[in-house]
Structure 1
Amino acid sequence: MSDATLDKLKRRFDADAASGMREVFQFHFSDAGDHYLVVDDGNLEVHEGEHDDPSVSLSMSSETLRGVMSGEINGMNAFMTGKLKATGNVMLATKLSSLFPGS
């Protein structure tokens, strides 16, 4: 995941939407390695690597993530067509768009 993508995620993070939430989103990027987001009651931390016990794990290309975050790609469609694979608490993936609303 490029620094620009990480910066954009941090800028778009909606702390109010994350109020009371304590979850770990693990991302496995086919083209950019592993990263995880720790959402802790309105705070966001972004880390490189793999978390020991993520709430949900998502596998995709960084391009798919950009499309989902921008609204150009419907997350459910990406999941149904195999562009996005999820394990763990899959319903958490549906909250990404509210945690990182479009500009």
Structure 2
Amino acid sequence: MDLAELTDEMRKQASRNVKLGYKVKFVLDDGVIFWDGSESTPEIGNEENGEADTTIAISAENLEKLMKGNLDPTMAYMTGKLKVEGKMGVALKLTSMFAD
């Protein structure tokens, strides 16, 4: 999937879940996906300069696997495929939302 497809898929997943309550920036190889879950309706886009509570660095390929449930988030973190800056609890909340 390219950046636009990943962003669209993330919008779909966000709409199926409860309010996240935080702002998360996904830093990919070819761009950024910014999830503003601080409002009741999440806004997901490709804004690079937004302030985030948590920043997750991951490849586009691994993000796709994570969203499809084909990559264990704990193993990805432990093997360096996923790096987290900021609030770890937010990252854990997100991974449980992807698993639903």
- TM-score interval (norm. to shorter): 0.7 to 0.9
Q: Measured at CA, do residues 37 and 56 of structure 1 come closer, stay the same or move farther in structure 2, by a change above 3 Å?
A: same
Matched residue type, 1:87:
E
In the other structure, the counterpart of 2:18 is 17
What CA deviation, in whole Å up to 9, does each residue of 1:12-37 have, x standing for no partner?
Answer: 2245521xx4311011102x212211
Matched residue type, 2:84:
A
Contact kept in structure 2, 1:23 and 1:38, CA below 8 Å: yes
Ranges in structure 1 where 5+ consecutive residues have no aligned partner: none
**Which sits farther off after the overlay, 88-97 or 39-48?**
39-48
Q: CA RMSD in A?
A: 2.0
Q: Which whole-Å CA distance do the structure 2 matches of 1:57 and 1:92 have between them?
A: 10
What is the total number of aligned residue pairs between the two structures?
Answer: 99
Ranges in structure 2 where 5+ consecutive residues have no aligned partner: none
Q: How does 1:61-100 map to 2 (within 5 A)?
A: 61-100=59-98
Matched residue type, 1:64:
N
What CA deviation, in whole Å up to 9, does each residue of 1:50-78 have, x standing for no partner?
Answer: 24431100001011111111111001110
- TM-score in terms of structure 2 length: 0.82
In the other structure, the counterpart of 1:53 is 51
Higher fraction of helix = 2
